Amino acid sequence: MRKLVALGVIGLFAATAQTAVADENAELEIDGQKFVTKLEAPADSPLSEILSGWRFRNDETQALQTDDFENPAMIFAEYGSELWETADGEAGKSCADCHGDAAESMKGVRASMPKWHEGKKTLFALEDHINWSREEHQKAKPWKWESQEMLAMTSFIGLQSRGMPVNVKTDGPAKEWWEKGKELYYTRVGQLDMACAHCHENNYGNMIRADHLSQGQINGFPVYRLKWQGMGSIHRRFKGCMDNIRATPYKRGSDEFTALELYLASRGQGLSVETPSLRN
């Protein structure tokens, strides 16, 4: 029965495939800065080319991201800049007290996430780094993964890397995590018996109902989704995908989602960081 349901869903891709709702040849430029949203795929990639999710959005959504004044995600980045300067915790320190100007100290951080944390001997997403710093240096309580504060801070820190190429490390101690993420990407789960690859590798560019399927690149996260009317983390998007195929999702911040994040980031190596981006 599960395989019959899955076959029905896969058939839906072909049945609803149609001309793209956006100009997939459009180029992203913000305040005169040009972004890399399309790359020739490396020889070992399962994709023929690497495409940012921005290329799959409709014209109106694409246009909103090109204007920081109109992009609602920028409100979160602005809140993050306030939090950066605000003292917190028993230590009474702000992020700026230790790290100074975020434009300098945080430049390139988002582009390299997730990465191995030598002190904790584990792979850290950006959210993990933020909470570790809060507990270690500010003596403050950690923020919840999807809290407004966390989304604001990840937006602000990510903004400092905007335009830089995604550049994550997949060797050394991170290799095991990358391999785990790859396994998860191709593993069928849920009542619909589907894997990430069914949508984002085999059917990107097609329509499924009202959704224009992208390659699932994560170079823009956290993103403001019009569907959510708010910001969301990479792990929230993972959970939504698992919910859609009627699978039991892993928790935000879990080893499984962090490993999957590393694998997906590696698939988009070289794309420009778009944080904070806008999606449908």
Pick the CATH number of 73-159 from 1.20.1250.20, 1.10.275.10, 3.30.1600.10, 1.10.760.10: 1.10.760.10
Mean pLDDT, consecutive 10-residue stretches, the chain (280 aa), reads 41 42 78 96 94 94 95 97 98 97 98 97 98 97 98 98 98 98 98 97 89 95 96 98 97 98 98 96
Residues belonging to the active site: 241
For residue 16, the model assigns a pLDDT of: 41
Instruction: Establish whether 55 is an annotated binding residue.
Output: no
Query: Which tokens go with 235?
Result: 């792990």
For residue 167, the model assigns a pLDDT of: 98
Please tell me the distance from the alpha carbon of residue 120 to that of residue 132, in angstroms, as a whole number: 9
For residue 209, the model assigns a pLDDT of: 76
- Hunting for tokens 């891709």 — which residue is that? 13
Task: Assign domain 2-70+164-279 to a CATH class.
Answer: mainly alpha
Instruction: Establish whether 246 is an annotated binding residue.
Output: no
Instruction: Establish whether 95 is an annotated binding residue.
Output: yes
β-strand 277-279 against 223-225: which pairing, if any? Answer: parallel
The pTM assigned to this predicted structure is 0.91
Query: Which tokens go with 216?
Result: 């699932």
Instruction: Establish whether 237 is an annotated binding residue.
Output: yes
Residue ranges of the chain that CATH labels 1.10.760.10: 2-70+164-279, 73-159
3-state secondary structure the chain: CHHHHHHHHHHHHHHHCCCCCCCCCCCCEECCEECCCEEECCCCCCCCEEECHHHHCCHHHHHHHCCCCCCCHHHHHHHHHHHHCCCECCCCECHHHHHCCHHHHCCCCHHHCCEEECCCCEEECHHHHHHHHHHHHHCCCCCCCCCHHHHHHHHHHHHCCCCCECCCCCCHHHHHHHHHHHHHHHCCECCCCECHHHHHCCCCCCEECCEECCCCCCCCCCEEECCCCEEECHHHHHHHHHHHCCCCCCCCCCHHHHHHHHHHHHHCCCCECCCCEEEC
Positive or negative, the CA dihedral 187, 15, 280, 22 is: positive
Instruction: Establish whether 99 is an annotated binding residue.
Output: yes
- Answer whether 102's CB lies under 8 Å from 64's CB: no
Instruction: Establish whether 225 is an annotated binding residue.
Output: no
Instruction: Establish whether 137 is an annotated binding residue.
Output: no
For residue 22, the model assigns a pLDDT of: 62
